[in-house]
Amino acid sequence: MLNWDAVRNPYVPGAPLTATYRQPGVVLTDRRFTVPLDHDDPAGETIELYAREVVGSDKAHQNLPWLVYLQGGPGFGANRFVGRQAWLDRALTEFRVLLLDQRGTGHSTPATRQTLPLRGGPAEQADYLTHFRADSIVRDCEAIRGEVTGGAPWTVLGQSFGGFCAVHYLSSAPEGLTAVVIAGGLPSLDAHADDVYRAAYPRIERKVAAHYARYPQDVDRARRIADHLLAHDVTLPNGYRFTAEAFQSLGIVLGGSEGSHRLHYLLENAFVRTPQGTALSDAFQDEVQGQLSYAGHPLYALVHESVYGQDERPTAWSAERVRGEYPQFDAAKALAGDGPLLFTGETIHPWMFDSDPALRPLRETAELLAARTDWKPLYDPARLAANEVPVAAAVYHDDMYVDATHSLETARSIRGLRTWVTDEFEHDGVRAGGTRVLDRLLALTRDEV
């Protein structure tokens, strides 16, 4: 007899889940693991990790090597592919793949405004979140590798922040690695967050200029929207306080392969005529709130600058402070003249914790993280200089999110690393490029090209 209670309630938090199911061309298995919150205290509190095992239907019963995918972010769960999409199709020709929801994301003991109060107040929440950086993620990988592979080393694919994790992996546990492939994610080994954003703002400005060169009609549209927001208090349907600065932050999409086109289509439907006069259209507001809200990935906003913390200097809202060095990004000043409004990019600002309902309860927690001065170094230059693991990295020549100059400096510091520098792709090349990017990177690790 079918157990309808199990059908209606397939998962209870804390219960094991090993469901296996199929999609076109693949067999998937849900995997759950228990790991220490603090790996230096293995007998202490534990958290749960979730990962999705994927294997090609034609190889489901074969003994295959493993590839673990480390998603970009921080703060995003692993891609939810349908079938053999994007790079996964190439990986499944030879690997069994583990799509890991890094701690705090997806189904891995989430860290959100709803769950973090279980820790206590802001101080306890901030202490808890210090365990959600690349070092803890890599130790999670090592903690579960024996159960997944039987102890065999595996290949790591690191996209963006996943590449930061992969470089830490090379620094701390290279014995667990067969090879490493990195897509748009070679971090500076020693840059402070201020250095990262001083390199970022000029790149962002170039991306905005390229967008306006493609869509010159958007210059007037963007100015008109920003002018409306400076003159009106606008609250989106989900409670988000929509300011000119928030509008500028939509420029984060310009780092992706389709981002300029998506921004253009968003801007063209901004206004509608109403009995009360011109207003921002419901359709525009609905799409904007989906773009701006951190409800689905609050950890990204909370720990984003912390991924650059490696010394006794606080990050101290680095993106906000450094932005002050680039007055051309000030919306009011831009509108007072005749220049274009500049969008911003992958930057986190304190006002987001006032504007976004998903972040407001976490404002004090974010302040404590920004003031923290006890960050541990994430990379070991001496160990990287002696590296013996095959490594290849795609460096996108004008990547909006990860500075190419910093990446190439790091590439020269990792023994044996081979780079593929290209302007064919934006930051999302490993996804947008289908099978080609992963195929080339794997070939580079094997000296096949």
Interval 10-51: pLDDT, tens: 333 443 446 899 999 999 999 999 999 999 999 999 999 999
Name the least confident of 1-10, 60-69, 319-328, 343-352: 1-10
Contact (CB, 8 A) for 168 and 158: no
Residues 221, 287 share a domain: yes
Segment 325-332 long-range contacts (CB within 8 Å, at least 24 positions apart): 325/198, 325/201, 326/201, 326/202, 326/205, 328/205, 329/201, 329/205, 329/248, 331/226, 331/230, 331/244, 331/245, 331/247, 331/248, 332/230, 332/244
* Residue range 113-130, pLDDT digits in tens: 999 999 999 999 999 999
Residues 173, 66 share a domain: yes
Residues 366, 318 share a domain: yes
Domain count, the chain: 2
- Structural domain for 8, as ranges: 4-190+379-445
Last residue of a domain, one of 346, 370, 394: 370
Last residue of a domain, one of 329, 352, 370: 370
* Residue range 172-200, pLDDT digits in tens: 999 999 999 999 999 999 999 999 999 99
Last residue of a domain, one of 347, 370, 393: 370
Give pLDDT, residue 11: 37
Residues 51, 19 share a domain: yes
Rounded to an integer, what distance in angstroms lies between the CA atom of residue 331 and that of residue 341? 6
Give pLDDT, residue 13: 45
Residues 253, 293 share a domain: yes
The Cβ-side half-sphere exposure at 240, using a 13 Å CA radius, reads 24
* Residue range 132-148, pLDDT digits in tens: 999 999 999 999 999 99
Q: What is the pTM of this model?
A: 0.94
Give pLDDT, residue 153: 98
Residues 291, 320 share a domain: yes
| Beta-sheet pairing, 177-183 with 96-101 | unpaired
Question: Over the chain, what is the mean pLDDT?
Answer: 95
Residues 173, 198 share a domain: no
Give pLDDT, residue 203: 97
Name the least confident of 3-12, 172-181, 224-233, 304-313: 3-12
Mean pLDDT score, 155-169: 98
Active-site residue numbers?
Answer: 160, 374, 427
* Residue range 90-106, pLDDT digits in tens: 999 999 999 999 999 99
